[in-house]
Chain A
């Protein structure tokens, strides 16, 4: 497919469990972003990767959140010891480069529900 893909599309977990969310960016896109969208709210920036540079983790809400990306390919967002407040849709986006104004193409999101 040509677009950004994310898996799983839905994830239900119990409080305290760890979850891993996956994002496949558009091929050739060097910049990759993770956002979180709580019900009825706008998106919140979490983390940003650009090539092999150190990621910008300034939006991660706590040390339970971490993310990795290998080169310019797949990224995984890991949430450890999940809490009910982590319930949200997690959206991944990629862009050709991180230059100002470059369109970010969003994936369909992963809906996380923590019981």
Chain B
């Protein structure tokens, strides 16, 4: 069975600073994908970034980058130059090849301070 663990229930970050959100996973499948989603207080789920298990390079999307350490089974999200609008819940999720259904972690709440 797959499992995703996010050990930080909440974090404060100063505006314009970088923040790292931790995510560890457990799977026996060789082929899998790792996603990060943002959920603002409005409740919508916003896709941020994706990393495939066979991707050689860490994924980047604008201010978001994924620090993928396969041997450690970690997929931490780094948000650079934090903005007030980054205040939200952040979820790490994993999928496997068959069906791409997502298994989510418990989330980390980020609050950006001005």
A residues near B, CB below 8 A? 31, 33, 35, 41-45, 48, 50, 56, 59, 89, 91, 93, 95, 98-106, 108-109
List 5 additional contacts besides A42-B106, A42-B107, A43-B102; criterion CB under 8 Å: A59-B101, A100-B95, A100-B96, A101-B100, A104-B100
B residues near A, CB below 8 A? 4, 31-33, 43-45, 47, 50, 52, 91, 93, 95-97, 99-107
B33 touches A45 (CB 8 A): no
A-B contact count (CB 8 A): 62
B102 touches A109 (CB 8 A): no
B47 touches A100 (CB 8 A): no
B101 touches A56 (CB 8 A): yes
State in angstroms the CA–CA spacing of A91 and B32 once bound together. Answer: 22
- Which residues of chain B come closer than 8 Å to A33, judged between CB atoms? 101-102
State in angstroms the CA–CA spacing of A43 and B87 once bound together. Answer: 19
